Amino acid sequence: MPDIVRLLPDVVANQIAAGEVVQRPASLVKELLENALDAEATEISLVVKDAGKQLVQVIDNGKGMSATDARMSLERHATSKIQSADDLFNLRTMGFRGEALASIVAVAQVELRTRLHEEEVGTCIIAESSEVKKQEPVACPPGTSVTVKNLFYNVPARRNFLKSNAREMMHINEEFYRVALARPDIGFSFYQNDMQVHHCPPGKLSQRIVHLFGAQYKEQMAACKEETMHLNLKGYIGKPESAKKSRGEQYLFVNNRFIRSNYLNHAVTTAYEGLLPEGYFPFYVLFLSIDPKEIDVNVHPTKTEIKFTDEKLVYGMVRASVKQSLGLHQITPALDFHSDINFHIPKHSPQGSGGMRQTLQDRDYGQMRGVRPQQEGWSRLYEETRDKDTSQDREMPPDVVTIPSAANHRQDLMEMPEVTDQQWPVQLHKKYILMQVRSGMMLLDQQAAHERILFEQFQRALEKRKGPTQQSLFPETIQLNPGDFSMVMEMKEELEALGFDMEVMGKTDLVINGVPADIAANYDRTVFEGLLEQFKHNQNTLTIGKRENLARSLAKKTTLKAGSTLEKKEMTALVDRLFACNNPNYTPGGKPVFSILDFNKIESILK
């Protein structure tokens, strides 16, 4: 019987080996960009045609190669970056296996042009199917240009396996983003089918993010920074309202390498707990620097996965610092305020002459607050507020108006609606409130606004342990199952602080004699049961304390019903109360309450 074991021809062996490195056009982008970085380039251009299926080219101004090195660089395991295998994460270069170019040449047509800075002429090599076809001196700028054409031209099965252009382009963009984000100090240009799609000059990380993702990120990012002995974290996170329904824009770099870590991703996302609607993912670009000793080097470093010696420590730190950053920035409205720190004076204001501007503390807003409605209809809601306004423990004198608490520090960023004429505010579809503001118009979700107001009101009641009660004319009896009953008993004190007046009857029945005054007008027997349901739901899905949960659940269950018609003074009062909140921007669940359409936005919509 003849021997059947044979060595594979080199070409085939190389093609198979290439499979690990080159899976799709995006792999070319990754490898070539990383080589350019390793060559210490400061300007890098990426050119892609037909989603990389026809052409991927990377041009750099890095150190270039001699003729011999250029020839060698296409051989398998040829690398100038030899390092010992056990400290791979100590590597300062991206590549280290000397496999990329050889793999690429096995499955595509490659033209390499390279020149050392100190040389007059460069080298041009043309190669395909692992074979050098031509090598000659050439006039070219210092640095290196690698052009890869017709990927998998010689492996039809794999070429057919490529996905649609849109899909391949997505992978390419992703690789480009990772490199461009990791190195904001380097200039990048990206051309697609002869059109420049990105031009990123060298700069700061924040500028890089804006260049890549768009100007709106200026308003949507919050800085994140934490330094400890063995561990540093820095970067940017997206404010909750910039969260998207896809996981896309999440970047974590460990020692400047892009890493995919479900564990740390979890640390980031749980820091947003309660600020994001379900199914939304926050934006982040975070850089973790850690002593390489703290990383498990058994994990293959070319894979975008990693293990930490002390995972919990890293997790805790990431979560805490994202949380802190959210806390610091949450109160900043994500609005385009930087150019306009003062408030417009209403036309009819007595001080309004000469176009003079006043600040928030001025009478202007005080007057606006003066238009608080008389009690009527559902605006009983404001009963407690008005009472408080006239009471002794009022936080501010009638004419000096400050936005309370944390928002104070950022008052320069706040913009209040103008009460310029009788037309405003306007209710849209019994759902939204439209108001004129200095930079354009403000669109406000009435239900969300009300939920925020109630939530903070309930929180105050829980803190002070004395929410006002309105006694019911007809006390209602609620029959509870034993589980719910004991839960209610556990938070009896808090419920009373909110303003519930309850009495136990029999084994598990509850008589409700009075309810929180703020919600008395909207109270019906579904509220209490709804409150318990919501409380339980939150308990299972969030990690918030009992009090916050109660305040949230009650606010959610007693907020304005959808489709409530509001009168002008009710709307004004609602807006007024909203901006007296500590955090008017979001509902307790993280939904944005209002948005400002400034003139730029309006113009761009109408273009």
Please give the residue ranges that form the binding site for ligand ADP (CB under 6 A). Answer: 31, 35-36, 38-39, 60, 62-65, 73, 78-81, 95-102, 144
| CB 200 within 8 Å of CB 214 | no
- For Mg ion, which stretch binds (CB under 5 A), given 2-10, 98-106, 231-239, 385-393? 98-106
The residue with its CB nearest to Mg ion is: 95
Please identify, using beta-carbon distances, which residue of 256 and 513 lies nearer to ligand ADP: 256
For residue 112, CA distances in Å to 62, 185, 193, 338, 430 come to: 14, 26, 20, 48, 65
Please identify, using beta-carbon distances, which residue of 95 and 588 lies nearer to Mg ion: 95
Least distance in angstroms from the C-beta of 131 to ligand ADP: 16
Q: Name the helix (H) or strand (E) containing 285.
A: strand 284-290
Residues in the chain: 607
| CB 106 within 8 Å of CB 129 | yes
Least distance in angstroms from the C-beta of 94 to ligand ADP: 7
Helix (H, G, I), strand (E, B) or coil at 475: strand
Please identify, using beta-carbon distances, which residue of 190 and 586 lies nearer to ligand ADP: 190
Least distance in angstroms from the C-beta of 120 to ligand ADP: 18
What ranges make up the beta strands (E) of 388-497?
426-428, 432-437, 440-445, 469-479
Please identify, using beta-carbon distances, which residue of 17 and 544 lies nearer to Mg ion: 17
Out of 100, 401, 495, 596, the only residue in the binding site for Mg ion (CB under 5 A) is: 100
Helix (H, G, I), strand (E, B) or coil at 231: strand
**Which of Mg ion, ligand ADP, none lies near 101, with the C-beta cut-off 5 to 8 A by kind?**
ligand ADP
62 binds Mg ion (CB under 5 A): no
103 binds Mg ion (CB under 5 A): no
**Which of Mg ion, ligand ADP, none lies near 80, with the C-beta cut-off 5 to 8 A by kind?**
ligand ADP
35 binds Mg ion (CB under 5 A): yes
- CA end-to-end span of the chain, whole Å? 79
Structure tokens at 33: 């960009």
The residue with its CB nearest to ligand ADP is: 95
Q: Closest by alpha carbon to 39, among 70, 14, 13?
A: 70
Please identify, using beta-carbon distances, which residue of 176 and 236 lies nearer to Mg ion: 176
210 binds Mg ion (CB under 5 A): no
- C-alpha–C-alpha distance, residues 101 and 118, integer Å: 24
* Total of chain residues touching Mg ion, rule CB under 5 A: 3
Least distance in angstroms from the C-beta of 176 to ligand ADP: 16
Burial 210-233 (b: 16+ CB within 10 A, else e): bbbbeeebebbbbebebeeeebeb
**Which of Mg ion, ligand ADP, none lies near 81, with the C-beta cut-off 5 to 8 A by kind?**
ligand ADP
- C-alpha–C-alpha distance, residues 487 and 492, integer Å: 9
Least distance in angstroms from the C-beta of 32 to Mg ion: 8
- C-alpha–C-alpha distance, residues 44 and 48, integer Å: 13
Please identify, using beta-carbon distances, which residue of 121 and 356 lies nearer to ligand ADP: 121
Least distance in angstroms from the C-beta of 101 to Mg ion: 7
Enumerate binding residues for Mg ion (CB under 5 A): 35, 95, 100
